[in-house]
Structure 1
Amino acid sequence: MAVDLSDLKENGSTESREPIEVEAAFLVIIRGNGMIQASTDINAPIVPNRPATMDEMEMAAHKIVADIQATKTAQLVQMSVHQAAATARQQAEGQEIAQRLNL
């Protein structure tokens, strides 16, 4: 179960809060046009118009997961294409050598 870190606020003031030590962090924002963005720059200056709803957090999390999966899939396809090209080059080189040797 996720912990709502906003519950840890003291008196609603962010100035007196101690930093929360974490393993890693990233920022998820929802732009006005519904675009979801995730960034490792957690110090980016942002001005939310309102607090995020649970539905928005769920939707944004699903969108981020889908984008990450699409990126991973594209990387796998790209690796496969490079491997196929390397194999084709090796076969072409082998055929060229065989032709030179009249095999």
Structure 2
Amino acid sequence: MIDGFYLKGLEELEFDENKVKEEFKFTKYWIWEDDEVNDLLDKVGSGNIELIDIGDSQSWNIIITGEERSQMWFFTDVGIQPCAPKRSFISWFEYWLEGSDNYFGEFEL
């Protein structure tokens, strides 16, 4: 456990078997709170699995399909965003284990 959060065990992972097989369509951040809700919002749950639930509608998810496959993304109730710089699961996990927390240091709008 780091910062009060822990990586879910395999038995704790929950996902829709059909949605997880669908392609993850995103390659850059998206804040849907700034947009009118559209068809893409239904696709946010596709092709990824939540690994850490931070609470307050925030989580770290691994992308398992599409162009971003193997990358870690941050999900909230208003948007999604990859790490900046992008990090594969292993790179992200090592960074997390070190206690580092600047996952968006190179983020640009």
TM-score range, shorter chain: under 0.3
Higher RCO (CA 8 Å, separation ≥ 6 residues): 2
More helix per residue: 1 or 2? 1
Normalised TM-score (structure 2): 0.24
Largest Rg, 1 or 2? 1
Normalised TM-score (structure 1): 0.25
